[in-house]
Amino acid sequence: MNGITLSPQQLAVAQASLSCRLFLEGVAGTGKTTAGVARMHYLLKSEIPADRLLVLTPQRTLAQPYYDALRSPDTPGGGVVTVTTIGGLARRMIDLFWPLVAEEVGFQRPADRPVFLTLETAQYYMARIVTPLIEEEGYFDATTIDRNRLYSQILDNLNKAAVVGFPPGEIGERLKGAWMGDLVQARIYDQAQACALRFRRYCLAHNLLDFSLQIAVFAEHLWEEPLCRDHLTETYTHLIFDNVEEDTPVAHDIVYSWLGTVESGLVIFDHGAGYRSFLGADPVSGHMLQDLCDEQRIFVESFVMSGSVTALGAAFDRVLRPSVPDGETAPPIGDAAPLAPAPTADSVTGNNGIRATLHFGNRRFHHQMLDWVVAEIQALVRDKDAFPGDIVVLAPFLTDSLRFSLAHRLHRVGIPVRSHRPSRALRDEPATQTLLTLAALAHPEWEILPSRYDVTDALRHAIHELDLVRAQLLAQIVYRPHRGQPELTPFDEIQPDMQQRITFVFGGRYEALRTWLAAYRTRQAAPLDHFLSRLFGEVLSQPGFGFHRDVDCGLVAAMLVESVQKFRWISADLADNRRPLGREYLEMVRQGVIAAQYLAPWQEEEQDAVLLAPAYTFLLSNRPVAYQFWLDVGGLGWWERLYQPLTHPFVLSRRWPTGKVWTDADEHALRQRGLQRLVLGLVRRCRVRVYLGLSDYSEQGFEQEGPLLGAVQQILRRFQSERGGV
């Protein structure tokens, strides 16, 4: 298998009987997924037809090792292994078996095709439903969060109902049952409930399926429909389910009943994980899949951590492990089984090992800490020949300003850097703004009047090499809004001295753009995505224009066209559309509902580059590195969770009894457990050394003394006292 030598334990899993259902567990870094990939290869080499094999993971990034293996020329020819998620399976089955269940589910147009919503189009419909309630009936007037976060939390509640498996009508009761504060919050929960049900009714009336409805239709209807279930269980007779601890109870329920029918199964469980609990992950129900398996294997030996990193992990585990006195409630979300016992610090390399593994940079101000981080990275790359790709810089939340500060500093010293997402949302890209401004100019009937600043910017980006001064001058002269409608006047109507200042080269290009727009205005308006496609192909990407051979502009334009197209497909046939769709799209962009996401990779990532990422994102990429830098170790962000006034991921989980009050003690235990889980997860993905970036004051200027800092201090105090004792 691509030159990887498997351990005897891995080999035993890979080559287990072809009729065996195995439950494999262990902490991160013990080679479980490698064994899973080897198992897949073994099945294929054993002439199990590839199309009988299903590999499930909770999200696509976790399936990468399987994809990589399947693309290898060594993979036997024949059919193709299906690698997907339960969500992916749900979508495919709904598409195929829609005519069988549409009516039964309650869709009011069962003869029409289903319309699958993306996260942003779901937000769009939620905005349509909730906005009148906010503006006319005073919904959520006691909360101060951004509207888009409000919409996403209502959607999140629906998603939780679907993936946990309770009716969406119970959301409000469950949230209120756990609440013991003022009545205002209870009213907010009632309003969130009402919005969720209105949204669901709207979806059923218009054949719209957001993520929650896709999961509910699959789990509650299609999985019970013999034609669909037989199709799945007869097609896939060998199952590998990796990272089950990150998947949801409903996914576990489905696989629980599926495992009984397969010829072979391998279920892989990562101890101490469950990082996606925010999205409904439930390690407890995942661990129950063990009941259906014939054998259980536990991997203990880490292939990642050095001895001293193992000792560091043990030290963190000791100081962060929540203590639950007898008779008290256990932490609300926990592992099904205790974390696999890690070696004690002293038993591996002793405290000296920890000291060699943990490096500090304690500075007064935040920017000084960043300088220290960059200097250390520079030293690693220049002096110790470390690969930039083997270094990751982590923070609990990576703000845009923090990312920019770090990336800028690293670029300055010539170290390549990559981030978990592009620096700008689609709507903020200059190419997007240029295209949308030109769209507004081409559609006066939309009655959208771009500002002179927007027109200047659009001209500057649309016309190759047009500088800001000339663009401003040109816009000032030619952009003449008339009776509330945008108008561009011809270049040859400009006074000759101004023409010369702008130059005839730029004037010619401007004129080509203007006449193209003017010609378009004489015809019947096209759908916005078709308009953008033509504008891009016939003008902006032609020689002399700003997008010519610019691959980044091409990518941004392609994503915009795709976003508009999806928007048109989901909303074109709704009877209550009174405004042109193009205008509606621009309006939604302006409000930040649409084109605000980072849905696709912006560009090919440079792999050998320092990664800047939020800690949880790094954990879910499941890729160990040699060196980790943890920023703002004194910050509370490592311990706190997001402010979510309309939802509660743990109260809405299957682990929380309906009606049980969520207390401060529960909240504290949850945070403590979360910190332990996070820190151990990071350490288990580190091969050589952890660098702790500390500053007395945070990025915002507040003093920092969070629990992670407390844990580090405890470890150091213990180290010093033991050293003093020697």
Partner 1 sequence: MLPESFSFSQASLQDFVACPRRFQLRYLLRLRWPAAEVEPIEEHERRMMMGRTFHQMVQQQHLGVPESRIERGASDPDLLRWWQNYCVYRPVTSFSGDAASASARSEVTLSATIARYRLVAMYDLIVVEPGKRAVILDWKTSDTRTSEAILRERMQTRIYPYLLVQVGAALNCGQLIRPEMVEMIYWFPAFPDAPARLPYDADHFSRDGAFLEQLIERIADMEEDDFCLTSDLRQCEYCIYRSFCDRGIAAGNLDDVTAAYELQEGDVEVDIDFEQIAEIEF
Interface positions, 485-544, toward partner 1 (CB under 8 A)? 526-527, 530, 532-534, 536-538, 541-543
Identified binder of partner 1 from the candidate list 128, 229, 566, 648, rule CB under 8 A:
566
Helix, strand or coil, per DSSP, at residue 93:
helix
- Strands in 53-56's sheet, in edge-to-edge order, are 82-84, 53-56, 238-241, 264-271, 21-27, 295-299
Q: What residues from 92 to 121 belong to the interface with partner 1 (CB under 8 A)? A: 95-100, 110-113, 116-119
Q: What is the DSSP letter of 657?
A: P
In terms of residues, how long is the chain?
726
Cβ(502)–Cβ(474) under 8 Å? yes
- The least CB distance from residue 553 to partner 1, in Å, is 10
CA gap 72, 702 in Å, rounded: 51
Q: Which stretch binds partner 1 (CB under 8 A): 86-94, 301-309, 350-358, 502-510?
A: 86-94
Q: How many residues bind partner 1 (CB under 8 A)?
A: 79
Q: Which is nearer to partner 1, 362 or 565 (CB)?
A: 565
- The least CB distance from residue 231 to partner 1, in Å, is 6
DSSP character string of 345-363? HHHHT-HHHHHHHEEEEEE
- The least CB distance from residue 30 to partner 1, in Å, is 24
- The least CB distance from residue 161 to partner 1, in Å, is 14
Identified binder of partner 1 from the candidate list 20, 555, 609, 716, rule CB under 8 A:
555
- The least CB distance from residue 547 to partner 1, in Å, is 9
Q: Which stretch binds partner 1 (CB under 8 A): 68-76, 253-261, 336-344, 384-392?
A: 68-76
- Strands in 417-419's sheet, in edge-to-edge order, are 358-363, 686-695, 625-630, 391-395, 610-614, 417-419
Helix, strand or coil, per DSSP, at residue 560:
helix
Strands (E), 277-316: 295-299
User: Cβ atoms within 10 A of the Cβ of 530, count?
Assistant: 14
Tokens of 451: 């500002």
Helix, strand or coil, per DSSP, at residue 264:
strand
Phi, psi of 269 (to 5 degrees): -125, 130
Beta bridge partners of 241: 56, 267
Q: Which is nearer to partner 1, 298 or 526 (CB)?
A: 526
Phi, psi of 688 (to 5 degrees): -120, -55
Q: Is there binding between residue 141 and partner 1 (CB under 8 A)? A: no
Identified binder of partner 1 from the candidate list 12, 279, 298, 498, rule CB under 8 A:
279
Q: What residues from 20 to 59 belong to the interface with partner 1 (CB under 8 A)? A: 47, 49, 51, 58-59
Q: What residues from 595 to 624 belong to the interface with partner 1 (CB under 8 A)? A: 597, 599-600, 604, 614, 616-617
Q: Is there binding between residue 276 and partner 1 (CB under 8 A)? A: yes
- The least CB distance from residue 63 to partner 1, in Å, is 10
Beta bridge partners of 358: 690
Q: Is there binding between residue 548 and partner 1 (CB under 8 A)? A: yes
Identified binder of partner 1 from the candidate list 85, 344, 515, 714, rule CB under 8 A:
85
CA gap 691, 362 in Å, rounded: 11
Q: What residues from 183 to 222 belong to the interface with partner 1 (CB under 8 A)? A: 211, 214
Q: Which is nearer to partner 1, 468 or 642 (CB)?
A: 642
Q: Is 154 exposed, middle or buried (0-12, 13-18, 19+ CB in 10 A)?
A: buried
Q: Is there binding between residue 60 and partner 1 (CB under 8 A)? A: yes
Q: Which is nearer to partner 1, 252 or 566 (CB)?
A: 566
Site string for partner 1, 413-452 (x = CB under 8 A): -------xx-------------------------------
Structure-token match 């399987």, residue found: 66
